[in-house]
Structure 1
Amino acid sequence: MRIDGFVRDGYARFEVVTPTLIRLEYAGDGRFENRLTFNAVGRGISPPAFTTDVAGGYREIRTASLVLRYRQNSGPFTQANLSARLLSTGRTAAPVFPSYCVFSTVCEAENGAPTGSASAAYDHGGYTGSGFLAGLTSFGAAVARDVSAIPAAGQYQLTVRYANAQGGDGQHTTRTLSTVVNGAPGPRLILPVTSSWDTWATVSVPIVLNAGTNKVSVIQGTGDSGNVNIDSLAVTSPGVAYPAAETSLRSTAYGAGPKSVLGGWDRSLDNPEAVPTKQNPGLLDRDGWYLLDDTRTALLNADRTIVGRPSHGTHPYQDGYFFGYGRDFKRGLTDLNTLIGPTVLLPRSAYGVWYSRYFGYSDDYYRSTLLPKFRSTGTPIDWLVVDTDWKSPSQWNGWNWNTALFPDPQGFMNWTKQQGLDVALNVHTSIASDDPKFAAANATAGGLISDGGGNYTWDWSNPAHLRSYFDLHRPFDQQGVRTWWLDYCTSCGGATASAPGVAPDNFINQAYADHAAAQGFRGFSFGRIGGAEQGGIHSNYPVGPWSERRNTLQFTGDTPASWDMLAFEARFTPDEAAAGLSNVSHDIGSYHGGHLPDELYARWVQLGTFQPVDRLHSDHGDRLPWDYPGAAGDSAEKFLRLREALVPYTYTLAQQASTTGVPITRPLYLNYPDQEAAYTNSQEYLYGDNVLVAPITSSGGSVSAWIPPGKWTDYFTGTVYVGPSTATITKPLSEMPVLVKAGGILPTRTNYVDNAAAPLDRLTVDVTAGANGKFSLYEDRGERTGPSTVTGIGWQDATRTLTVDAAPGAAPRRVYTLRVADVAAPTAVSLDGLRLPATAWSYDGKSRTITVTTLPLGADNRHAIRFSGA
């Protein structure tokens, strides 16, 4: 039956959010949850049309896109009682909840709720599921599972699948862990040696359980040695063999889907031993569906505080979202945008050029040497990120200006504003006891957390601690610091968010966004995403990476200087589209490595030009064009200027990402799901729908590129490619493979500017002939809330006409330079019906390109430029 927009069937409840997105909730005690969660802030919109009825003992819900079936009175959702048929593909999905651990089945340890130093890991073989649990190396480290469907009170068997080889303690010996059952101490696990960390064994102990749902934990308790990896656990009747693991699905603590995973995400790329690194699965899968498990995510209060989910006692509880997008992958991302909240639109300047360096720059050096060099060489810069040397008394965790480098901090901040620069300061999440601001911070918090070595940290989910933390930021905010680079990791110093249902990354990233929004800015965080770092392991919590899409510019960490890393970064950014993540930021040129080989440096800067954020950074390394005299430096200057020129286009893509959930860099399969090659050429991507980027990521200057269906024209040379096909494209350092699809429209700023704050009064519009096309250029104030305008730009191929729609509120008068590629020479060019003199336009026969520059045109009227005979 329908109740207030929900479909209720016994202890099961369903909410149709969109035709391809349905909430699934099971509450064995009938206590359903209507409050928002930290993830799901977009529920409650008007539901689409759907029908529901009962047939053959099954509750059926039909939308325009899928049919969901649940067997009535059959208990919590499982593969046996729940299915969804996708009407567009005919596939039938059988989703599972990773949080639901049922009697007599294998329950993956990595999908449990970890505490302490315990976290998911993937660096050994032979495990089942998506990984295993590692980090059981300190007192209190544990994994907990709610085990449901216990048939009756009595004695049962807990079996743990583990590996125990020589560990961090340097020993190769039998180890121990403890159990906790429903809050009471249980039997100790004795874990004999296995031959390697890739070899798994099982051990069983008897436990006493209640009927229904019980909480079972494996923990490193008092007197336990730990240093054991746990793959999975199972609760069975005594003497029953270990059950077979589920192999048809891939599940993680935050969701489950088929094994045809597309793309993925990772918390960071810090110092990997090798690339490609293992990525965590996102939303998208070739089978066309996914189950986002929101069961354990914290509830979000109106004041932005969080509380854990209420207990359901011995009754089972599940809460999740079924995505059934079929092959319309963009639809899946749009549904995610609806559910989690819009992808954050960064300030317009953030899509320009960033620079930072781990180096002790002084105020004087910034003013008298560094910025003048940017200006004299015509190198744009929008953001200046000041690394850790600004701090005092500790360069790591000080909360005061280092007056030896910055004798007049307010003067420095005033100067950066005069120069049109936004400023971010590096921050680490701890404070020393000898810091002049420690006493006040400690008092506000009601007592900070000591690391035992003279430093203190915060529990951000404690409101007093969070207030203490941001009180330290406010003096700098008042001086003009625009945002904060949450460097290193959120919890390495002990800072955490202890409330259940979030990870430290999830919580603090949202808090930084809220902190900036409260000042009237576009709120965003600049840091890592989706978990925390515990004991050197990047941990991904049950809440997943979803919330960061609406609040974070992802910093991917300290990367090595290698061709392999360059190639992986080119793949990594569009891969993260599968988790709906758009604002990804790499250290362009890499963090490590002093002076790079010329070719590697130039190609890395080219990649940054067509990334969501272009941020040059290093550890005392050379990352600026004048560090590389000759062709490499010339190339870097050219592409940094191109990046600045691209801001109007990139900013429009960012606004599209915020509106639709489809990110700036787009894997090929989003647009070409019926082309097998779109799934196998992850080294290239679309920058918007009609610009193909195939970065050169190996020495030699060539790349083998897959050309999607249609006609594509080289942005730099006018060379035409017809797809679907494969082509080897060779480029000098002055160019990279960038192709524009027929009908594609690419607007860029015509004139050089130092930064994105300059008025957009001259615009170049590149068009590739061969098909009709349109582009909606988005403009606003770039930072604070205010009016926005959209200028429609269209190309009609049959009549060879470009139109610019009226856009009241845009630049009052704007000069347009139109370049149309892949056309014959025209006999005449007209503007708004008036023929232009031959001196107003030109034709390049080699690239088959027409170029015409108009006089300033008003934004209040529609304009048309037509080529006759072309």
Structure 2
Amino acid sequence: MKFKDGYWRMRPGVRGDYATAAHDVTAHPGGLRVLAPTKPITRRGDTLDGPVLRLDVSSPMPDVIRVRAVHLAGSVPAGPAFALREDPGGTPVKIEVDDAAATLTSGALRVTLGRAAPWDLTFSAGGRTLTRSGAKCLGAMRDGDDRHFMVEQLHLSAGELVYGLGERFGPLVRNGQSVDIWNEDGGTSSEMAYKNVPFYLTNRGYGVFVDHPGRVSFEVGSESVSRVQFSVEGHELSYLVIHGPTPAEILRRYTALTGRPALPPAWSFGLWLSTSFTTDYDEATVTSFVDGMAERDLPLSVFHFDCFWMRRYRWCDFEWDPEVFPDPPGMLARLKERGLRVCVWINPYIGQASELFEEGAAAGHLLRRPDGRIWQDDHWQAGRALVDFTSPAAREWYAGKLRRLVDMGVDAFKTDFGERVPTDVAWADGGDPERMHNYYSLLYNETVHQVLAERRGPGEAVLFARAATAGGQRLPVHWGGDCESTFEAMAESLRGGLSLGLAGFGFWSHDIGGFEGRPDPEVFKRWIAFGLLSSHSRLHGSGSYRVPWLFDEESVEVLRAFTRLKARLMPYLYGAAVQAAREGMPMMRAMHLAFPADRGCDHLDAQYMLGPDLLVAPVMSAGGEVSYYVPDGEWTRLLDGTTVSGPGWRTETHGFDSLPLLVRPGAVLALGARRDRPDYDYADGVTLRVHALPDGTRRTVAVPGPDGGDAAVFEVSRTGNRLSARRVAGDAKPWNLELAGSPTGPRAAGAGTDLIEITTTVKE
């Protein structure tokens, strides 16, 4: 939200009262309390009339500093609030106060408040200024409608770039953009987003999390080109500055605060096939799809039933439509006999025609207006109401309906919607409607995820969720939402996923081929490669089926090749998934996150790192032309073993069975022995493929087990022209050592704790 008209003047009707100095400073064991008047104080009479801002400065964990500014404390709503994981014993901080300044130091991060005018609040680390709030930056604002806002502006240095703010479909660098943190069902081609997160990070070595669950309005180098402005309606503004110094370390600290993803089960990384949205289907249709996949030797892991598994007008009543699915338990059992998992679509709305409407209304489980009437409208489902997840009883009621489905054989839920949340309502817990709008998605997905963890076990719970906010990363997986079936939509989907990863979301997916419309075969085949080289992979659409043989026979071959490739990559990919769960590093990583020192990576948003060692550049053209950037070193093309050197740009043409897929120099890639499924014993027959390992280098490679622990650990080293590998942990199972080359290079096999060595001419 913009308050100024240019640099000098306020917009019509806007009044701003800005902090002028840290006039009164009180130190206490946990931090500082500061009174900041909004006019110069030169005599006692100046202390009368006008706003005074109260600041509390503290540290929830090392290298993180919180600033909480309050104008009228009695007008601050009680909730909801994000649950942040602070150090239980308190964070050791160093506080210094003298006549000139007050400082608080946490780890390497320091904040300094100048006590004299003009206002100065400076964050620094290692003697270097990261950012600061200066004159006319922190203030209390009123607009022409007498609405009250709190605002802060943090300075941007020359060349400083801003990333993040959740799922955004435009350019990855946020500079020059206006962004409202407000969940909307707006597709993937506008400024709206399903997953909004009030957190950004910059290439200056810090991130900022605005601790407000409602609407946060960001002006990123837009109202003032040298500042990031953020504002919230109301009388309180709380934000945390998080020191890195690298973007990866910033993400680790941010996710330590807001939560890290649960580890999804290994089977969820396989191929998901959907009925699609508005298509006609019954059990015979489902069976024909599953048979068709098996007949064509296409590995399939999950079958998903979209909306019309339930009766029309009755979403959601969680009852199978008896006209098309007369025997749900039997059908699910038959799918399970074929080794498939089952996902079903749900949302948090209750259509008026559903029997659950009267049941929920009578029990008080549906959201109400301030006058006590149930909130309803006719969007999506006629007379729809919304489950009030702020009520523990309503959450248990909703969970009970899901438990019956899980006990019937359902393994996962697609938790659609959760963005169309009204504000002219009264929540059961008395929560503020504006703050609840985004936060609702967290309560909704948390309720469903808990049911699966309770019934299937914590390691078996997985969602396919659309809406989210800060903390939602704890409840994977999320997908990109409703996009068109074009190359342009493919690009915007990728930008949205990479941006979401920069908000700590470790797992992400998208509709292969796009959602709206029927993709051309060229789009579908190119999207297959992108989809199978994503964290999670789903064939889904709107009004048309997404089985590959309906496009052309080459689509079948492309899907087979990339599904098998992903299965072989699972020891490596599941290792990256474990890292996401442990450290908050996303599986799909923006190039700047992986190579922050390489300025060539700063603006890249059409390629990514899949885990730490694989570079993926999806082809977004029918003819196969693709340009991509290669960071420094000799990289190996995974698909043919040839090499390409960086740094620099490459322009290539690829067939439908190929794309730029490069292995990082020095990587030891763990490849599995199976290509027919994603969930198997990764340590049994694993191949360690070594790529341009420098002389005198030693690598430790952990092969994960199904619980995320280490099933086997190997040490790989190079001395001169000799490669050596030794198993240092794990059961005595066969394993292989392989030198990357064209096509595969020298290879040796071993078992037990045997040492494997390869002597050859190693190319530098």
TM over 0.5: yes
1:293-692 alignment to 2 at 5 Å? 293-294=210-211, 317-326=236-245, 328-358=246-276, 359-367=279-287, 369-392=288-311, 394=313, 396-445=315-364, 449=374, 451=376, 454-491=383-420, 498=427, 499-500=431-432, 501-502=435-436, 503=438, 504-519=440-455, 520-522=457-459, 523-530=461-468, 545-594=469-518, 596-692=519-615
Residue of structure 2 equivalent to 1:750:
673
CA distance in 2, matches of 1:721, 1:497: 60
SS in 1 for 2:516: coil
Q: After superposition, what is the alpha-carbon deviation per residue over 1:472-501, rounded to whole angstroms, capped at 9, x for unaligned?
A: 222112212122212244437999894223
Are 1:284 and 2:197 an aligned pair?
A: no
CA distance in 1, matches of 2:609, 2:426: 37
CA contact (8 A) 1:563 1:697 kept: yes
Are 1:777 and 2:737 an aligned pair?
A: no
CA distance in 2, matches of 1:420, 1:89: 57
Amino acid at match of 1:734: D
CA distance in 1, matches of 2:587, 2:689: 19
1:573–1:29 CA distance, 2 compared to 1 (3 A): closer
Q: After superposition, what is the alpha-carbon deviation per residue over 1:812-835, rounded to whole angstroms, capped at 9, x for unaligned?
A: 44333433124xxxxxxxxxxxxx
Return the match for 2:162 from 229, 240, 261. 261
1:390–1:819 CA distance, 2 compared to 1 (3 A): same
Q: Which one is further off, 750-759 or 492-501?
A: 492-501
CA distance in 1, matches of 2:651, 2:488: 20
> C-alpha displacement at 1:801, in angstroms?
2.0
> C-alpha displacement at 1:687, in angstroms?
1.2
CA contact (8 A) 1:399 1:437 kept: no
Q: After superposition, what is the alpha-carbon deviation per residue over 1:212-259, rounded to whole angstroms, capped at 9, x for unaligned?
A: xxxx47xxxxxxxxxxxxxxx89xxxxxxxxxx988769xxxxxx997
SS in 1 for 2:201: coil
> C-alpha displacement at 1:340, in angstroms?
0.5
CA distance in 2, matches of 1:646, 1:495: 49
SS in 2 for 1:405: coil
CA contact (8 A) 1:441 1:469 kept: no
> C-alpha displacement at 1:3, in angstroms?
5.6
Q: After superposition, what is the alpha-carbon deviation per residue over 1:175-196, rounded to whole angstroms, capped at 9, x for unaligned?
A: xxxx6xxxxxxxxxxxxxxxxx
> C-alpha displacement at 1:417, in angstroms?
2.8
Q: After superposition, what is the alpha-carbon deviation per residue over 1:295-350, rounded to whole angstroms, capped at 9, x for unaligned?
A: 5679xxxxxxxxxxxxxxxx965433111324x11111011111001123212222
TM value normalised by structure 1: 0.68
CA contact (8 A) 2:82 2:471 kept: yes
Are 1:865 and 2:753 an aligned pair?
A: no
Q: What is the Cα-based RMSD across aligned positions, in Å?
A: 3.8
Are 1:61 and 2:104 an aligned pair?
A: yes
1:96–1:706 CA distance, 2 compared to 1 (3 A): farther
CA distance in 2, matches of 1:565, 1:447: 36
> C-alpha displacement at 1:51, in angstroms?
2.8
1:86–1:850 CA distance, 2 compared to 1 (3 A): same
> C-alpha displacement at 1:439, in angstroms?
4.1
Amino acid at match of 2:504: G
CA contact (8 A) 1:587 1:616 kept: yes
> C-alpha displacement at 1:56, in angstroms?
3.5
Q: After superposition, what is the alpha-carbon deviation per residue over 1:798-848, rounded to whole angstroms, capped at 9, x for unaligned?
A: 35324243333xxx44333433124xxxxxxxxxxxxxxxxxxxxxxxx16
SS in 2 for 1:546: coil
Between Structure 1 and Structure 2, whose CA radius of gyration is higher?
A: 1
Q: After superposition, what is the alpha-carbon deviation per residue over 1:562-603, rounded to whole angstroms, capped at 9, x for unaligned?
A: 111112223332222221222221101111233x33322111
> C-alpha displacement at 1:684, in angstroms?
1.1
Q: After superposition, what is the alpha-carbon deviation per residue over 1:127-163, rounded to whole angstroms, capped at 9, x for unaligned?
A: xxxxxxxxxxxxxxxxxxxx6xxxxxxxxxx525xxx
Amino acid at match of 2:723: T
CA contact (8 A) 2:344 2:410 kept: yes
1:426–1:610 CA distance, 2 compared to 1 (3 A): same
CA distance in 2, matches of 1:277, 1:770: 42
> C-alpha displacement at 1:443, in angstroms?
3.4
CA distance in 2, matches of 1:497, 1:605: 45
Residue of structure 2 equivalent to 1:16:
59
SS in 2 for 1:392: coil
SS in 2 for 1:567: helix
Residue of structure 2 equivalent to 1:224:
none
TM value normalised by structure 2: 0.77
> C-alpha displacement at 1:853, in angstroms?
5.2
CA distance in 2, matches of 1:682, 1:409: 43
Residue of structure 1 equivalent to 2:144:
159
CA contact (8 A) 2:85 2:256 kept: yes
Residue of structure 2 equivalent to 1:124:
none
CA distance in 2, matches of 1:95, 1:416: 63
> C-alpha displacement at 1:94, in angstroms?
2.5
Residue of structure 1 equivalent to 2:123:
84
CA distance in 1, matches of 2:630, 2:714: 28
SS in 2 for 1:696: coil
CA distance in 2, matches of 1:331, 1:497: 40
Q: After superposition, what is the alpha-carbon deviation per residue over 1:527-581, rounded to whole angstroms, capped at 9, x for unaligned?
A: 2224xxxxxxxxxxxxxx2111112322221211111111222333222222122
CA contact (8 A) 1:781 1:788 kept: no
> C-alpha displacement at 1:760, in angstroms?
5.5
CA distance in 2, matches of 1:565, 1:627: 21
> C-alpha displacement at 1:505, in angstroms?
1.5
CA distance in 2, matches of 1:248, 1:683: 29
* Unpaired segments ≥5 residues, structure 2: 1-25, 36-53, 168-182, 216-233, 368-373
CA distance in 2, matches of 1:571, 1:64: 34
> C-alpha displacement at 1:450, in angstroms?
5.2
Are 1:794 and 2:712 an aligned pair?
A: no
Q: Percent identity?
A: 21
CA distance in 2, matches of 1:470, 1:717: 49
> C-alpha displacement at 1:647, in angstroms?
2.3
Amino acid at match of 1:854: A
Amino acid at match of 1:576: L
SS in 2 for 1:769: coil
CA contact (8 A) 2:727 2:754 kept: yes
CA distance in 2, matches of 1:274, 1:316: 30
